Amino acid sequence: MNDKVREHLSFEGRVQEVGFRYKMRMHAEHYHVTGWVRNEYDGSVSAELQGFPEDIDRVVQELYRDQYIRIDWISRRQIALAADETGFREKN
C-alpha cells in the first residue's frame, strides 16, 4: 500500500436522489479506489475513499463534472488505512 491514503469526505449540495452513490461507486471502481459511500439523514453524503491521492482526486473531479450533481461544500480529512479492504460499496 505504498503511497496510498484514506480520506473521509462529506458532501453537501444536491447530492441525494441524483445518482451520487452509484456514480461514485462507478468512478471509484474505474480508478481502483476502495471504500464506501452513504446518504446521511441531513441530506449530505459521506464517503471513505482509499487509494492513490491522484485517483481519489479524479473520483471527486468526475462528480463535480456531473450534470445532475451539485456539490456546494466538501470536507476532506485523512484517516487511517483499512489494510484488508478490497472493493467499493454503497452503505445504507
Catalytic-residue membership of 38: no
The β-bridge relationship of strands 45-51 and 5-14 is antiparallel
Determine which one of 2, 6, 14, 21 is catalytic.
21
Determine which one of 39, 58, 70, 76 is catalytic.
39
Cell of 48: 471513505
Q: Which residues make Cβ contacts (< 8 Å) with residue 27, sequence separation at least 6?
A: 33, 58, 59, 62, 63
CA neighbor of 85 nearest in space, from 14, 36, 30, 18: 36
Catalytic-residue membership of 76: no
**So which residues are the catalytic ones?**
21, 39
